[in-house]
Every structure is written in C-alpha cells, then in structure tokens.
Amino acid sequence: MNVIEDAGELLHFFYEEINIKGKRIVDTKDVVNTIKWNSDRINSSFNYLKDKNYLVIGQMGSGNIQGVEIFRIMRLSPLGIDIVEKDKILGNRSQIDHNLFNNTIIKELNMGNVTKNIGGTGITAGGDVTFRDVSGQVAIGQHIIQIQTQTLSASDKKELLDCLIQFQKEAIKLGIPEDELSTVNGDLKAAIKEAEKEKPDPSKIKSRFEGALDTIKEVGDTIEKVSKWEWTGKVIEILGKIGLSIML
C-alpha cells in the first residue's frame, strides 16, 4: 500500500469508531491495538490525514506508544466525513475492515492522468474536476469534487469573537485542575486569535473550541454548567449557520 491508501484505511477506522460505535475519543493506543501496522506506516498515514484537515484533533502529547505519535482524535472534519460517506454510497465498503483498501475515493485521488470523458448531459469531467468557493451544490458525480467556502457574516464574526472571549473569562473561574485549565486556555486563545483575523477560518475556530470542551468534559460534571452558558450556545449557533456542528 502507498500512503494515500493507508490514510484512507485509517480514515475509515476513525469513522467507524467515532461515527458508528459512538466513541468520544480515539487515541494512539486504540490505533496501535487494532491496526497492526508498524509505527512508520501509522505515523505517515496519520500525518497525511492531519495535513489534509480530515480530522479534528485534540491535544497532541509528547513521547510515543510503540513508536507512534501521541494523538487524540475527537471527530472527522466535514471533508473527512464526505470522503468516507461518499465511498459508502458508492457501495464499495459497508463497514470498516483491515484488508487492502480499494476505496473509490482514493482511486479517484490517484487518477490525475485520466483522459476519457465521464458523464452525460450537463457537466462532463475528463479526469478530476474541482469546484472551489461555492455556496451551494453546483454539480455531483464521479470525478467531480466540490469545496465549499465557509464564510461568517461581519456581525456573526464580531459576536463569535465576543462570545469566545467571554467563554475564556468564565472558564478560568471553573476551578478545574491546573493542567486541564492550561489546555483549555491554550485552545481558547488559539480560537480567539483565529477569530480576530480579517478572514478567519471557522473550521479552525471550531476545532479549538471543541478541544476546550472535550478537555472540560474530562473533569467531573463541569461540562453541565458550561453547556448552560449563553456564550456556549451562541458559539455553537453561529458556527452551525455555516454547517459546522458541535456536540456537547
């Protein structure tokens, strides 16, 4: 297998564990114990998925487990989910297994030299076609990839920043252990820094905010209090407007 094929196999594994089995977190130990690959193979696949933004990753730890980087996967990104679920719709894999990865999506990613035309009436694709910066569905079909832009309105951007700042102020007062508080504060600082940009990336804000929430969830029943905060609901509502959902 090459890196792309291995990454596809690993992406399906994360989807199965989180979206089907309902696990809140999948970490390095889960991967090492289930997928019997050597450390280089796992690290290469994981880093490919990370660099492609197919995963929402929590706190990265130092050290390793049997040579594999320490990581915690909270969930798949919308793009990661699209890849797995399109494959399922096409009927190539009904569930995760650990045999050779024959994923149609991965095959498409490797077909840069396709020359024959595919399609009927409407749009015909001679190889892979990508639509960028669109606000709705413009085309669907094999070899057609749509990348949707996530844009916040000016008013939502301001309100989101205000809510993140207020959330950070209140989080400091929760009385959670120092190590966990440091992690929460780090994630919130990163989310606020991104929200302050002229053109923030909402997916990065979502990832950091979820990281803070996931750390809080690990500390007793504190999340019950946080879930009732007005600012928590507002952040979830604003991101939800552009299709970025957060589960408490």
Which tens digit of pLDDT belongs to each residue from 104-155?
444 444 444 333 444 444 444 444 444 444 444 444 454 444 444 467 889 9
The reported pLDDT for the residue numbered 58 is 75
Which tens digit of pLDDT belongs to each residue from 178-192?
989 999 999 999 999
Domain ranges of the chain: 3-104, 154-240
Burial per residue of 94-123, b for 16 or more beta-carbon CB atoms within 10 angstroms, e otherwise: eebeeeebebbbbebbeeeeeeeeeeeeee
Which tens digit of pLDDT belongs to each residue from 1-27?
688 889 999 999 999 999 899 888 899
Domain 3-104 has CATH 2.60.120.260: no
Q: What percent of the chain has pLDDT over 90?
A: 38
Are 56 and 209 spatial neighbours (Cβ–Cβ below 8 Å)? Answer: no
Q: What percent of the chain has pLDDT over 70?
A: 73
Q: How far is residue 143's CA from residue 125's CA, in Å, rounded to a whole number?
A: 7
The reported pLDDT for the residue numbered 122 is 46
Which tens digit of pLDDT belongs to each residue from 33-54?
998 899 999 999 999 998 888 8
What is this structure's pTM?
A: 0.45
Strands 72-76 and 129-134: unpaired
The gap between the terminal CA atoms of the chain, to the nearest Å, is 37
Please tell me which residue, 177 or 119, carries the higher pLDDT value. 177
- Average pLDDT of 235-242? 87
Q: Which two tokens stand for residue 195?
A: 């929200």
